Structure 1
Amino acid sequence: MIEIELVWVGTAFLAGLVASRLAFPPLVGYLAAGYILHAFGVESAETLTHLADIGIELLLFTVGLKINVRSLLRQEVLSVGGLHLVIVTGVSGISFLLGGDEAIVDVILGASLAFSSTVLAIKVLEDNGELTSLHGRDVISILILQDVVAMVLLAFADDRPFSYWAFALLPLPLLRPWAHRLLAFCQADELRLLLGFSFALTGGLVAEKVGVSPDIGALLMGVMLSSHPQTNNLSEKLWSLKEIFLVAFFLQIGLADLPNPAQFLYAVGLLGLLPLQGLLFFALFLLAGLRSRTAFISTLALMTYSEFALIVTDAMVKANLLVPEWNSTIALAVAGSLALVAPLNRNSHELFSRYEPLLARFEKKARLLGRLPEHPDRLPESIGVAEWLVMGMGRTGLSAYLALSRREKRVLGLDDDPTVLESLLAEKRRVIYGDAEDPELWSGLPLDRVKGIILALPEFDARCSAVRLLRKRGYQGQIGTICYHPEEKQQLGLLGADFMIHPLVEAGNQLARQILGEKGESPE
């Protein structure tokens, strides 16, 4: 048995490595590995199915950990995410209905095609350092809304007969205080990881016992733990573990059967509809009051088919609502969408800069349709009397801001994280919204009186982009930033940064000065 497991894992690794080196998501390689193994006569097994089920339960558990009712009720989340689901479900459902299938099957299948890939979107946002940005938070909230709808669809797609014992799952979130205490009691990281894993499997087992899909039980267990201070830490640790188990799910799809020409053509047809989904997202974001840049970058992050489409389709196949051939069709469509959209997401900022004149026209037309709500991504029109700017109000940026304030300098902070801005404004700090990689921000700000700009941004690409845009705009003042490697310092200097410091090196210098009793400002 060990031999066949080694074949599964080894083939998945090699195919995933090849896909990654070709700039595709590894998921595409895992699916291809399943097809390759099937072509060589390798079959699936109960062990692989069991591992795939665990992966799905962990996925739903981590989704439950992220559910925040307040974030789901935001105007742009409901208007964009909700309307997109309704429109795509309606159009797709009608199209499938014309093919002669049952109405409920058409609606479920149509809705599953409205979901976007959580794995790809979060990976792209994380790589770009945009998870906490305004558009990053909107994208994640829309993904969570889609995931919640997916759970409802799974309930309808499940072939289990309804049992009144299912209502026993509803009080699970009410056990939150005890679950939070147990999580707080676990001080070691490995204990928290085991607790999360145990909760996910327990939720699945309890749900299965009362006649409900195990996936829904795992989701409810995640909701029970949500809002705890350690939730993000637990979710990050479970994320990689969940990815390992989900490899079995994608292998299982590929091992089921090779796609025939008809399935391949149908998948290509579904891929041809992706640009229409993108146009719909873009239009809805503009009508919700977002700028064209925010709408474009958010659209690219959402313009894929989701892993949940595979999960929902697989559930309907098991319930005999769909023929098994649908698994291969949807799998090809999902993998193809990830392969096509991943390169676009990596270059989203460059693509917007190239097509900005065209995309900005649509923003103006959307504004002419009526009075749209003001949104936090509106560009600032003035910086007041500020003579010093600090871009990025994290720990480093805030320290620089306070140091300048104590010297009675006219300083203004900028950040693209709405929660950071809200917190700092509550503390009476002078801060405004600003994205360092937004060309319109730097070209529109009156920088004539600004003596210096500090770029306290953790992402190297964002620092480079900001320096490049500032010098291109003709800014002659000082630009200071941070660097972590010698090659970063060299490149930032070539782009026009006046001085760069290594935070850890400066921490050592400050410690030495303090211990020798030399005069210097004590860090806070």
Structure 2
Amino acid sequence: MDFLWIAVAFACGFVARQLGLPPLVGYLLAGFGLNGAGIQPFNGIGELADLGITLMLFTIGLKLNLRELTKLEVWGGATLHGLVWCLLLVAGGLIFIWLMPSLDGHWQQLAAVAFALSFSSTVCVMKILEDSSELKTRHGDLAIGVLVIQDIVAVLFLVAATGKTPSVFALALPLLWFVRPLLKHLLSRCGHGELLVLVGFMIALGGYELFHAVDVKGDLGALIVGMMVAGLPKATELYKSLMSLKDLFLVGFFLNIGFSALPTWDMFGWVVLLLATLPLKFLLFFAIFLLFQLRARTAFLSALALANFSEFGLIVAHQGVDQGWLPESEMVIIALVVAISFVVSSFFYKRAHSIYAQYKHILCRFEHPMAQVKHGYQQPYGAEVLICGMGRVGIGAYHALEQRMHEKVWCVEVDEIRAAQQQQMGYNVVLGDADDIDFWEQLDVSKVRLIMLAIPSIQEMKNIILQLRHTEFHGRIATVARYDDERKELLALGADVVFNYYAEVGAGFAEECAHLLVPPVTVGEVAVQS
């Protein structure tokens, strides 16, 4: 039976990928299909899903910038959106019931549904941002910050709804910060193999169990211990080590959603009605972010990423059924709405950059006049070469070219913290998102002869190449690739050179060592030569 689950999940994920959709869409459909076929879930799927969410929140913490949470647009945007959303849905629901007296309903029921759907899905948003390599972009930081604030509200709701207050020992949780030096030492002694992965599991699950033991949401504990590890020397390596395993466990989460509900035909009218509120959710986030003087692109991409319903809505609906606020049929409807919203969100976000490029002349009309002043771009003055991405490949390329071209080599880095650190080290770095068409349109590239894309995501490099072709840039484009099929895609799209570092690192290694094969020169030979 386990093989059947794996085979069906793979088949649906594979088909979704061939259609240009994220594999998670296929996993969702696989869960509903298996449920509809009457196949019972295998033992442990719930635990597998919970482990995936715990690891996901831990990895979020590893990448989370605490300063983001203190920004007004993050906590203010999350709070204002939740309040306005609930008011609009309750008011709209009351008007709908008044127009159709045959429908049953009251404001408490409407408020419970509105609150359940006010949250955005942490799992879905993280997946689409990861797949697009946009976790550390401005809009990625904003979306994740809003999700964290929503998680905090979720904890407060569970405390109020269940009447289960945290233990008095929860007051000692801030003391965990003093364990950070021990974690640093522990990680540094674990090497680079399976022991590092195992200690990552231990820290993530330890945080979950510790918070759960003092009656605080365990997932919040995984997030917080991840934040404690963030910034340590091994944090980035630990993040990369856990990524594949986390994604594998999350397959169980998406499959499990299909077993949360099996709808009947008479429910689909309500499902369609609730899904019709997704554009409202997007527009509300977009308007609020613009109100906080963010750029139109940042507001658009963040709002589009957050335009889905959260799996937490199922927990709220379950509490509503227990409290008598909602009938059991509402639980099924909300489960189906949440699942379909994942599909819709994944579909549109995959096309987010092309949509923005097509309609930016309209979207930018709503931008606050101060947005460009507050979030403007630096200029790489005198640059003839721009290196996008300052990871190991980008830094290596910078050092090699800077020795010959000096101030004519500049870098573009999307991570604000990393960019600031590299500027302090004396690198010629500008902060910017190379995937942002506004960035290229406002950048002076008249003297730039070569743009090098040292970015791990092929999708992001493809977006950048397309955007460069729509700007005034007439120079050459060089990229990197891991696989030969990726190399062919980039060349077909317009890249002039694609360096396949898996295939060509051997040639570089041989060239670096070639001098070792030259016979040593003796003293007598030196005398003859002179």
What TM-score do the two structures reach when normalised by structure 1? 0.79
- Deviates further, 218-227 or 347-356: 218-227
Whether 1:100 aligns to 2:106 is yes
- Cα distance change of structure 1 residues 218 and 320 upon mapping to structure 2, 3 Å threshold: farther
1:47-74: per-residue Cα shift (whole Å, max 9, x none)?
5555555555555555566665322112
CA contact (8 A) 2:274 2:337 kept: yes
Whether 1:72 and 2:89 are equivalent positions in the alignment is no
Q: Which residue is equivalent to 1:522?
A: none
SS at match of 2:451: strand
Measured against aligned partners, the alpha-carbon deviations of 1:249-277 in whole angstroms (never above 9, x if no partner) come to: 55555445522344322221111011111
Q: Specify the alignment match of 2:176 in structure 1.
A: 175
Is 1:277 paired with 2:281? yes
Q: Which amino acid aligns with 1:265?
A: G
| Matched AA of 1:167 | V
Q: Say which is worse superposed, 486-495 or 426-435, in terms of deviation.
A: 486-495
Distance of aligned partners of 1:502 and 1:160 in 2 relative to their CA distance in 1, 3 Å threshold: same
Show the 5 A alignment for 1:300-339.
300-317=304-321, 322-339=326-343
Q: Is the 8 A contact 1:89 1:107 kept in 2?
A: yes
Indicate the larger mover: 83-92 or 236-245: 236-245
Match of 1:124 in 2: 128
1:136 matches 2:134 = no
Which residue of the other structure, out of 284, 291, 308, is the alignment partner of 1:287?
A: 291
CA distance in structure 2 between the aligned counterparts of 1:128 and 1:9, rounded to whole angstroms = 25
Counterpart for residue 84 of structure 1: 81
Contact 2:56–2:123 (8 Å) recurs in 1: no
SS at match of 1:413: strand
1:401 maps to 398
Inter-partner Cα distance in structure 2 for 1:408 and 1:213: 54
1:353-401 alpha-carbon deviations (Å, 9 max, x no partner): 21122112222xx32xxx458444x244x44333443333333333333
- CA change 1:64–1:308 in 2 (3 A) is farther
C-alpha separation in 1, matches of 2:399 and 2:240: 32
Indicate conservation of the 8 Å contact 2:53/2:123, yes or no: no
Quickly say closer, same or farther: Cα 1:65–1:323, change in 2 above 3 A. Answer: farther
SS at match of 1:121: helix
Aligned letter for 1:78?
A: W
Structure 2 residue 429 is matched with structure 1 residue 425: no
Structure 2 CA distance for aligned equivalents of residues 190 and 203 of structure 1: 20
Query: Partners of 2:441 and 2:117 in 1: how far apart?
Result: 40
Q: What residue identity is the alignment partner of 1:384?
A: Y
Contact 2:261-2:335 within 8 A present in 1 as well: no
Counterpart-to-counterpart distance in 2, 1:267 and 1:390: 48
Q: Give the gaps of 5 or more residues in structure 1.
A: 519-524
Structure 1 CA distance for aligned equivalents of residues 47 and 193 of structure 2 = 26
Does the 8 A contact of 1:66 with 1:144 survive in 2?
no
Tell me whether 312-321 or 426-435 shows the greater mean CA deviation: 312-321
Q: Give me the whole-angstrom Cα distance separating, in 1, the residues matched to 2:212 and 2:466.
A: 57
Q: Does 1:482 align with 2:486?
A: no
| 2:447 alignment partner in structure 1 | 449
Q: Deviation of residue 177 (structure 1)?
A: 3.9
Q: Is the CA contact 2:170–2:216 (under 8 Å) kept in the aligned structure 1?
A: no
Task: Tell me the number of residue pairs that the alignment of Structure 1 and Structure 2 aligns.
Answer: 503
- Paired residue for 1:415? 413
| SS, match of residue 130 in structure 1 | coil
Partner of 2:356: 352
Which stretch of structure 1 is more off in the superposition, 350-359 or 500-509? 500-509
Q: CA deviation at 1:300?
A: 1.8
Q: Distance in 2 between matches of 1:66 and 1:463?
A: 22
The answer (yes or no) to whether the contact 2:112–2:325 under 8 Å persists in 1 is no
**Residue 100 of structure 1 aligns to which amino acid in structure 2?**
H
Q: Any residues of structure 2 matched to 1:34-73 within 5 Å, and which?
A: 34-42=31-39, 68-73=65-70
CA distance in 2, matches of 1:497, 1:346: 22
Query: Does the 8 Å CA contact 1:42/1:255 hold for their aligned counterparts?
Result: no
Cα distance change on mapping 1:246 and 1:92 into 2, 3 Å? farther
- For residue 333 of structure 1, report the CA deviation from its aligned partner: 0.9
Contact 1:388–1:410 under 8 Å retained in 2? no
Paired AA for residue 74 in structure 1: K
Q: Which secondary structure does the structure 1 equivalent of 2:411 belong to?
A: strand
Task: Please report the RMSD computed on the Cα atoms of aligned residues, expressed in angstroms.
Answer: 3.9
Q: Secondary structure at the match of 2:302?
A: helix
Cα distance between partner residues in 2 of 1:119 and 1:77: 19
2:157 alignment partner, one of 153, 160, 171: 153
Determine helix, strand or coil for the equivalent of 1:453: strand
Q: Post-superposition shift, 1:239? A: 5.5
- Aligned-partner Cα distance in 2 for 1:236–1:317: 40
The runs of 5 or more residues in structure 2 that have no matched partner are 98-104, 517-530
8 A Cα contact 1:169 1:217, kept in partner:
no
Question: In structure 1, which of residues 434, 445, 459 is the aligned counterpart of residue 457 of structure 2?
Answer: 459
Q: Is the 8 A contact 1:173 1:220 kept in 2?
A: no
Asked if structure 2 preserves the Cα contact closer than 8 Å seen for 1:155 and 1:213, the reply is no
Give runs of aligned pairs for residues 195-206 of structure 1, distance below 5 A. Answer: 195-197=199-201
Contact 2:484 2:500 in 1 (8 A): no
Match of 2:434 in 1: 436
Q: CA deviation at 1:80?
A: 2.6
